[in-house]
Copies of this chain bind each other. A is one copy, B any other.
Amino acid sequence: MHKTKAEILTIGDEILYGHILDTNSQWISTELDNIGIKVVRKTTIGDKREELLSAFHDAEQRADVVLITGGLGPTNDDLTKPCLAEYFNCEIKMHEQALLEVSEFFKSKGRELTEVNRLQAALPECCTMLSNKIGTAPGMWFERNGKVFVSMPGIPREMQLMMTKEVIPRIKNVFSTDIIYHKIIKTIGIGESWLADMIKGWEATLPPHIGLAYLPSLGQVKLRLTAVGEDQEQLVDEVEEKITSLKPLIGKYIYGYNRDQIEAVVGKMLAGQEKTLAIAESCTGGYLSHMITSVAGSSAYYRGSVIPYHNDHKIDLLGVKENTLKENGAVSEQTVIEMSNRVREKFNADIGVATSGVAGPGGGTPEKPVGTVWIAYADGNDTVAKKLQLWKDREINIKASAIAVLNLIRISLLKTIEIKN
């Protein structure tokens, strides 16, 4: 069976020069991976005719599907459309349906269609138009000698909608795709090397067609199992069986699978146990609240936050005792415990959590260097506080602290379930 191969071609000087970060090709890879298509190469080139034509040519030699993003803007520096017309040897003409759609798009925004945007509806005759419901540049689908070229806008949300609605269904139609089954096991609160040590015996039992990869990120390690074969159901069963035998070893560190996000998992636990949450964050400065509220529907369990960045407001707004701050400082077990209890009361919530630390780069002392962070959890019965010794980087310290608090909530809610059982 021939395995369908894909290449991704990202076009734009702004990516080449490093002015913007290309997130599109990662997103596209994941989508193709889900339908069993392997990306064999990603290439970024600039807005230059010869570069585009030679990249088209090279990609066609290696791959069955070539997915192109970028270079579809209305201005003269955007060359993807004319180069594709040249490569596929056909004329660019006004496309009636595309014109209708771009006109409607402008109408819906209450704006006049400009001449420049009208020209975006002109397309190479030999392509199939791909609708862009949320932007002005339509996509293009070319087929020749069993090879497919797809051109999409570079704006992530436009590309993503087009990919989901128009491109993936067409690709599935044209190519019979091979089976690759991935499952990602998400762990939190344990380092990569400790994890590796705990599961090395289990790892040795994996058959050759199931691969394991460690993917560490801030405070988390993802374990990716990749099974390759011909029978989807059999692959799924084999992988699930392996996960079942993994759970007794590291179960308490596993918070979810695949696209599960720790903030959504914690939200689901709160909603399931009908508990409400309030947050007092100092060094995390709003990031923890942002993680919680980035989840749609979080208003069901999240009551609100106080961010008493200035110490005065830890006292006057939150109700931490002046003495506690004086005797122990803001970055201390005592202060963070009081913060978690007081915020719980203020918002009349079941659970209160709090952060206080030295995010950096300034503010460190020999006793409390940059990266010293206290976090706490309080639910009326239990109060738990934990000291984190993090890094020198402000952004990393903020994010790692917020993730550690989410894990603290998760562990406490797990205990509640255990007690109930």
A residues contacting B by CB (< 8 A) are 10, 13-23, 25-33, 38-46, 51, 58, 73, 75, 77, 114, 116-117, 155, 157, 182, 184, 193, 196, 211, 213-217, 222, 224, 226, 279, 281, 285-294, 296-299, 302-310, 312-313, 317, 346-348, 360-363, 393-396, 398
Provide the residues of chain B in CB contact with A224, threshold 8 Å. Answer: 14, 19
- The CA-CA distance from A317 to B304 in the complex, in Å, is 10
Structural contact, B290 and A287, CB atoms closer than 8 A: yes
Structural contact, A17 and B33, CB atoms closer than 8 A: yes
A-B contact pairs, 25 of them (CB 8 A): A14-B224, A15-B29, A16-B40, A16-B42, A17-B30, A17-B33, A17-B39, A18-B26, A18-B29, A19-B213, A20-B215, A20-B217, A21-B21, A22-B22, A40-B46, A58-B58, A75-B214, A285-B293, A286-B292, A286-B293, A289-B289, A298-B309, A303-B309, A304-B317, A312-B348
Number of copies: 2
Provide the residues of chain B in CB contact with A226, threshold 8 Å. Answer: 13, 17
Interface of A is mostly: mixed
Known contacts A18-B33, A213-B77: A42-B39 contact under CB 8 Å? no
Known contacts A16-B39, A23-B21, A296-B360: A310-B305 contact under CB 8 Å? no
**CB-contact partner of A309 in B114, B302, B309, under 8 A:** B302
- The CA-CA distance from A196 to B13 in the complex, in Å, is 19
Provide the residues of chain B in CB contact with A213, threshold 8 Å. Answer: 13-14, 19, 77
Structural contact, A184 and B19, CB atoms closer than 8 A: yes
Structural contact, B182 and A17, CB atoms closer than 8 A: yes
Residue of B nearest to A302 (CB): B309
